[in-house]
Amino acid sequence: MRVLVTGGSGFIGSHVVDKLRARGHEPVIYDLRPSPWHEPGTVEERLGSITDREALERALHSCDAVAHLAAVADVNDVHASPEDAERVNARGTVAVLEAARRAGVKRIVYASTIWVYSDCEGEAVDEETLLPAPSHLYTSTKLAGELYCKAYQELYGIDYTILRFGIPYGPRAREAAVIPAFVNKALGGEPLMVAGDGSQSRRFVYVEDLADGVAVAVGDLARNRVYNLASDENVSIKQIAETVKDLMGDVQIVHTPARPGDFGGKIVCSKRAESELGWTASTPFAEGVRKYVDWRREQAAIEAERVAEAVIPAGEPDAESRPRHVLIISADIGEGHDLPARAVAREFTDEDPDAQVSIVNGLPAMGGLLTRVLRENSAFMFQWIPWWFDFQYRLFMQVAPTRWLSRQMLRLFGSRGLKRLIKAHDPDLIVSTYPGVTAILGELRRRGKLDVPCYSSITDLAGLHFWAHPGIDLHFITHPESAEEVEKIAGPGSVRWAKPPTASSFLAYRDRADARRALNLPADAQVIAISGGGWGVGDLAGATRAALEQAPDAIVLCLCGRNDKLRAKVAKRFGEERRLRIMGFTDRMGDVLAASDALIHSSAGLTVLEAIIRGCPVISYGFGYGHVRMSNAALERFGLATVART
């Protein structure tokens, strides 16, 4: 399962990423900063704000679920800046849910807190305890998030799991948390400051136990349930100070006035998580603190070693070579660039496990203007004025002077940001899966402004003037029929035929009967798949009508991608048709194509290549404009597909 982890670079989130990987999932980090806890390229990262719904939606493309951990979690920060806390915690959760709805992601795990019980009358609480109106802003924002999750499940079918975290502690904790703060003071020989008399208690939970609970909760058993994830141990602040004192040596404990808004502590029951998920907080508090202290000492030793190694004696070269750094620059326009990027990354890591491979979205680096022109403008034209898109394509692709001008405009507006991106990653090799990026890289290489070798990964069949460039070192094509056009643009010897940049499952045999069973399709019926790619472009409704009418016994699968409006349109028009299955974006295209007798496709993109690999006959219909028109002509010319124009 591919899981977006908001706050994945942080204290809890980084451990959740580790636990997801250990359980065989594919985590994607979404955070404001790169993860300091993972080697570059080992985990896919998307940088962005938790309130940026569009960035979240792009990051959620091809994800199956989201673990939403990003939040303002420090009570002091909430008390100091309540407006920021509300914006991040409450509105940020709405942004995540709305992005999930628009991206077709139907699963969220939401990180709440046992602070929601702070205003309850009884001392012992569990998930069924009625929650009064909260008196603290932090509690209010987290409860708002819980209610938003439940509302989105009722309205839009996004299944939730709400996890009420105990107080986390352990390696990677932020310095302001109570245990790191005490350890820091002890290391510096300072007294340990305890708010009040220190009798207020906490239900702590070791962070790795907590992260394992999140990884378990992604599964189906936890759908639409609320769980407490806290320890059975009730630990007072005074006990924490005494534990640190015992581990660190003779330090003084000093009591200070109680801070406002502090959580008095409850006896929080986590039996539901144990009985339903098999989860317990298995690390005793004293052992967890010892592990944290050991980690702090290890970090200090590593930092000291790093500083020592950085000092190279005069005249002695640094002979140790670093692992190969590969930067793959994609674009979140549909799925035709991101999916190949991930496939190329897998190829590099399979070939060289030590390689550090990073996938980045090149559009933000190219600037807001180019992003709007290349992505938002394209989406608008595809849907509303495709003839204007075709006119622009002819003008900028098939007319040499305007093609030259467009390349220079791309370089002028996009090169500075791309150069900053490249400098930040310091790669040994760059691979582009998006023609707009390729054109800029080619211009920079040809002008001597970039000294890093650049490759282009080409998935289109024809119309390759921006996919190929004389400045690019090598072009890797997936259709051997493309070689002649690429060499005409970039020069002889600039082309290599590569394994298709798609999931490895497409290259393995898949039995049709098994694929149909997996999709709950009849074994002996005719099956026709209709797709418009990730954006759901083209006349899919017309293709669906034609398939239903011309093949009266066939099962028709209409794949609408992430286009919710198209999905609603098809459902409204053909919703009563029992032979029709309407699907959104799916990561099961391998099964869909193996199960189908034919694919009707409108965008001539990566799905067509995957169908050809699967041996599924392809009919191109529904969007004969721009690059699709060029690809259709080539598909016909090489006998790879049938093109239906009416």
Per-position DSSP letters for 554-570, written without gaps between them: -EEEEE-TT-HHHHHHH
pTM value surpassing 0.85: no
Instruction: Indicate the SS3 state at residue 621.
Output: coil
If pLDDT is split at 50, 70 and 90, which confidence band does 311 have?
Answer: low
pLDDT band at 317 (very low <50, low <70, confident <90, very high): very low
- Predicted confidence (pLDDT) at residue 618 exceeds the cutoff of 90: yes
Q: How far apart are the first and last CA of the chain?
A: 39
Q: Which of 2-11, 239-248, 370-379, 419-428 has the lowest mean pLDDT?
A: 370-379
Helices (H), 399-497: 400-425, 435-446, 483-490
Architecture field, domain 510-643: 3-Layer(aba) Sandwich (3.40)
Domain locations in the chain as residue ranges: 2-167+206-229+259-280+288-309, 325-497, 510-643
Within a 10 A sphere around the Cβ of 591, how many other Cβ atoms? 21
> Residues of the chain with pLDDT > 90: what percent?
45
What is the overall mean pLDDT for the chain? 87
Q: Which one has a higher pLDDT value, 544 or 47?
A: 544
Handedness of CA 164, 170, 172, 174 (dihedral sign): positive
DSSP state of 375: I
pLDDT at 307 over 50: yes
Per-residue pLDDT tens digits for 441-451: 999 999 999 99
Does residue 590 or residue 143 have the better pLDDT?
Answer: 143
Q: Which of 255-264, 397-406, 503-512 has the lowest mean pLDDT?
A: 255-264
The tokens of 330 are what? 């994609």
User: What pLDDT, on a 0 to 100 scale, did the predictor assign at position 640?
Assistant: 87
Residue, of 30 and 307, whose pLDDT is higher: 30
**pLDDT given for residue 563 in this prediction:** 84
Phi, psi for 110 (deg, rounded to 5): -110, 130
Exposure string over 517-537, b if 16+ CB within 10 A, otherwise e: eebebeeeebbbbbbbbbbbb
Report the run of H or E that residue 430 belongs to, with start and end: strand 429-432
315: pLDDT strictly greater than 50 = no
Question: What's the pLDDT at 462?
Answer: 85
H helices present in 278-431, as ranges: 285-310, 338-351, 362-366, 368-371, 377-384, 386-398, 400-425
Which strand ranges, in their side-by-side order, compose the sheet holding 495-497?
A: 356-361, 325-330, 429-432, 454-458, 474-477, 495-497
Which residues are CB-contacts of 522 (< 8 A; sequence separation ≥ 6)?
A: 516, 555
Q: What confidence score (pLDDT) does residue 506 get?
A: 66
For 184-197, the pLDDT digits (tens) are: 888 777 788 787 77
How many residues are recorded in the chain?
Answer: 646
- pLDDT score at 635: 87
Q: What is the pLDDT of residue 67?
A: 98
Confidence at residue 265, expressed as pLDDT on a 0 to 100 scale: 63
pLDDT at 261 over 60: no
Residue 60's pLDDT is 92
Collapsed DSSP state (helix, strand, coil) of residue 270 = coil
**Residues 514, 27, 20, CA angle at the centre, nearest 5°?**
85
Ranked by mean pLDDT, the top range of 562-566, 568-572, 582-586 is 568-572
pLDDT of residue 442: 94
Domains 2-167+206-229+259-280+288-309 and 325-497 are alike in CATH topology: yes
pLDDT for residue 244 is more than 80: yes
Q: Worst-scoring range by mean pLDDT, 133-142, 148-157, 624-633?
A: 624-633
Between 80 and 507, the higher pLDDT residue = 80
Cβ(440)–Cβ(331) below 8 Å = no
Q: From the options 3.40.50.1370, 3.40.50.720, 3.40.190.10, 2.70.70.10, give the CATH code of 2-167+206-229+259-280+288-309.
A: 3.40.50.720
540 contacts 602 by C-beta, under 8 angstroms: yes
Does 634 or 110 have the greater pLDDT score? 110
Give exposure, 538-575, as e/b (b: 16+ Cβ within 10 Å): bbbbebbbbbbeebeebbbbbbbbbbbebbeebeeebe
CATH annotation of 325-497: 3.40.50
